Structure 1
Amino acid sequence: MAGDLVDRFRLLVAACCDQSLSPAARAVLAQILDHYNSKTGQCTPSLDRLARTSGLARRSVVRAVKELRVKGWIDREHAIREDGRAFASNHFRPAFERGDLGTERSLPRDEAVPTPGDETVPRVGTKRCAEVGTKRSPEPSKKNQGKGTKSESIDDAAFDRFWMVYPRKVAKAAARPVFDRILSKAQATADELVAGAERYAAATAGKDPEHIAHAKTWLNGERWTDEPARHRNPDNGSAARLHQSDIKPNSATAYLMERRARRMSHG
């Protein structure tokens, strides 16, 4: 009987090979075929139901049904009410003949089951799919084959070493993408970031954590390039600065002080 599982499968595959069909039209056609009753030949889903089952808006379903009709994938009939004033329901008739490429089946219709090696079923991206007027699907790019994502290519141990020495351990999840980006763009090596974090930890030792930057802020600011702070020696120059009382008077000062003392002693 026309419209069995094999016919519906064939028609859906052929429609998927039609590059002129929009994704919404393919989704609506799949739902129409899902509602098709091969025993009675009835297919009467409402537009609202097609919208719910396909996840599309009702207006998108209306446009998709119109597109399928114009391109010959379905036919739509209306059942009119007895009063003749409105449509009672929609009756869709899928164009199953478009899914049959004229090949002979090795098994009876009831026993024919499509398998990965079944040549009676057109496969997307093959020459048989091109026979229904579609283009061969592009092959996957070889440039990205065998390569993982950037985050996968970076050793997790590198960030763990950085995080172990960084002085303020908050917002770790926010710091990790920035750390990976710096390594992937070769802005710095993992050892340089770890060394910079160690210098920053030494410079901020004993400080209030609120005055220590988050790791994300530190990385975005390229703080690993900061030069180490030079600590001033508290004894530097102290030997040259003597207290006033320790300064010995020179000969002129001694002479004046002695003369003044004599005047005072003689009254």
Structure 2
Amino acid sequence: MDKPAFFAILPAAVRYDARLKPMERILYGEITALADQTGYCYASNRYFIELYGVTDRAVQKWIKDLTACGYITVEVLGGAGQGRCKRRITPIFSLWDVRQTPEQKFATPEQKFGDTPEQKFAPPPNKSSGRTIQDNNTSNNNTTRACTRGFDRFWASYPRKVGKGAAERSFERIRPDAALLDGMLRAIETQRQSDTWLRGYIPNPATWLNQRRWEDEPDGVTAPAAQQTPHSPPPPTPVLDPDGDITKLWGAWEE
């Protein structure tokens, strides 16, 4: 099991959901902290029992309530002939994916919260406000489509095809622009040739994104050999002539 992250995520929808007990909200935050690196939480009931000092029945009830409210999904991996089963918990981060009731889903702000002083004394809406909202929605849709296309390019380039859902959520949190995406793709092509990746040690795509591995220095680069320059042969050692006159010998060299 991964070590919990320093921070946990506790969306407003979870914090203010009257159906949840206080400890169920805290449990959701712990699940998000454990799912930070991979997008999934593999902690067992024993982990939460020892962490909070409660019974197994209490932990089961908390997880059941979070699942019933739509804040987490629970899967059991493995089965007959596959060894010991493992439970995988996936937290749902999107505030629009979790609703209390069908009535609340389509309720107006006045029905949800009642009139506020700002609403009572607010000036009349601008005629162009509808156009502004429409433009904002169009801009958000364009950004979402661009992010989806960018992830498709990343996924096609990354050599290890595991944990696509977790990788897509990590990619959406980063939301790289065109320049950063190009840098990521270049880093992947460079790291494909590294000793680590060639030996098969390729991180999961979600881990690669969460740890900003595109900023890693490439490993396994062989430094070019130092260029050797030819050396001139040493001059011959002077030898005295039989009469002991060295000048004659130098003269012979000059000739």
TM-score normalised according to structure 1 size = 0.32
Larger Rg: 1
